Amino acid sequence: MTSASQDQQAYAARKVTLVGLVVNVINAVIKIVVGFWANSYALIADGIHSASDMLSDILVLVASHYGRQQPDKDHPYGHDRYETLATLILGALLIAVAGALVWDSMMRLLTPRELVTPGAIALIVALASIASKEWIYRYTLRIARQINSRLLEGNAWHHRTDSLSSIVVFVAVGGAILGITWLDQVAAVIVALMVARIGFALIWDSLKELVDTALPQDEVNNLRATALTIPGVRDVHDLRSRRMANRTLLDIHLQVDPHISVTEGHEVGAWVARLLRKQNDHISDVTFHIDPEYDEHLDVTDDIHRLPLRPDAVAQLNERWQGEPLFEYPHHTVLHYLDQAIDVDLFYAAKDVPAGHIEQLQVALTTRADDLPWLRQVKVWVGQA
């Protein structure tokens, strides 16, 4: 993702959140003031819900500012987890508010003498809240999906719960005016439970991200299938994914022909990374590992699976082949690490090794080094130096 696109997304998120903040401030003040004046505790609870929306807007503004900053030395993967932290705090705040509302409403239900009939103006305020919150919900959700922001989408659904709670309040106040006085308190409990539900959902999603929960399996399968469309990819395994706010980071192992060059294998991996990012806007980083063979179930870091690196392997071969006349000619050695063994290819110039001596040299070298446990075979090639 380029710096320009990140700036555009940050601006869009900031703009829609500021609009939502203004709407929530107006709604919260009017609902709470009118709720006290009209004796509607459900409307007061709904006003507190709008106030929590206001706080969530502030959290979104702060998280969007810091979360979309460019990676730096201390945060090489970016600052997206600021959004995750803000979402976690928002969820906890909603649950705390909901618990307080439920407790107070239940106390009022258990003391009927405190129940009063709300005024009709509460109906008008609830109706206005429904209209304004439904509008800001749709506006916020559209922007959230455009910039792929889960925090902003969570905030949009927070707006929607306020709209739904206002519907509950509208029905409850109407019923209370008609004589069912306890309905207002029941509505307050319902609104509080709605607030708690969205709080738990936000916390759950944030926790899944913090513990690096993978993408859904069907999406992983699609990514694997996409990688396999690149020529040269024989198999895909160890595809690991994790989310950071609106971004996805991938680690993927690509099995290729074991005898191609390092540069060709790297280019195959680069093509896979480009295709995955092109077809999936949320994928920002792809780390690929090129494998010459299938090793998904093999712990390649275990000492028992370690093979000697080139300096040690060539030194052991030279020790055993010292004195072999044909071996003394200039040659190029290529090592192939496959199936927990090493295949050795020796490339000679045609002028140095007569064609009739190729098999003789190959047998001689193999015999003199057959005590090396890691050596599987030796091949001699002429004219391909």
* pLDDT tens digit sequence for 44-85: 777 877 777 777 777 777 776 666 667 667 766 666 777 778
The sheet with strand 331-338 has its strands ordered as 331-338, 341-348, 375-382
261 and 233 in a single domain? The answer is yes
287 and 341 in a single domain? The answer is no
Which among 221, 246, 126 has a CA at the least distance from the CA of 177? 126
57 and 188 in a single domain? The answer is yes
Q: pLDDT band for 115, please (50, 70, 90 cuts).
A: very low
CATH code for the domain in which residue 316 is found = 3.30.300
63 and 177 in a single domain? The answer is yes
350 and 309 in a single domain? The answer is yes
Backbone angles phi, psi at 326, to 5 degrees: -70, -25
CATH code for the domain in which residue 18 is found = 1.20.1510.10
Give the mean pLDDT of the chain.
Answer: 80
Span 268-293, average pLDDT: 90
37 and 139 in a single domain? The answer is yes
202 and 224 in a single domain? The answer is no
Span 97-126, average pLDDT: 69
How many other C-beta atoms can be found within 10 angstroms of the C-beta atom of residue 319? Answer: 11
357 and 264 in a single domain? The answer is no
Q: How many domains, the chain?
A: 3
Span 336-363, average pLDDT: 83
CA pair distance 232, 269, nearest whole angstrom: 9
- pLDDT over 60 (residue 363): yes
Q: pLDDT band for 303, please (50, 70, 90 cuts).
A: low
127 and 166 in a single domain? The answer is yes
Domain for residue 299, yes or no? no
Q: Of 258, 291, 324, which residue sits at a domain end?
A: 291
Domain for residue 175, yes or no? yes
Question: Lowest mean pLDDT: which of 35-44, 82-91, 173-182, 350-359?
Answer: 173-182
Question: Lowest mean pLDDT: which of 199-203, 245-249, 263-267, 374-378?
Answer: 245-249
Domain for residue 123, yes or no? yes
CA atoms within 13 A on the CB side of 10: 19
Q: What is the three-class DSSP state of 160?
A: helix
Q: Of 193, 210, 227, which residue sits at a domain end?
A: 210
184 and 239 in a single domain? The answer is no
First-last CA distance in the chain: 44
270 and 358 in a single domain? The answer is no
CATH code for the domain in which residue 253 is found = 3.30.70.1350
Pairing mode, if any, of strands 247-255 and 235-244? Answer: antiparallel
Domain for residue 297, yes or no? no
Domain for residue 296, yes or no? no
Most confident of 124-138, 220-234, 339-353: 220-234
pLDDT 10s digits, 199-241: 888 888 888 877 777 788 999 999 999 999 999 999 998 898 8
pLDDT of 382 = 85
Query: Tokens 């539900």 identify what position?
Result: 197
Domain for residue 106, yes or no? yes
Q: Of 291, 315, 348, which residue sits at a domain end?
A: 291
Domain for residue 187, yes or no? yes
Q: pLDDT band for 184, please (50, 70, 90 cuts).
A: low
- pLDDT over 50 (residue 385): no
47 and 190 in a single domain? The answer is yes
Domain for residue 298, yes or no? no
* Residue 333 lies in domain: 304-382
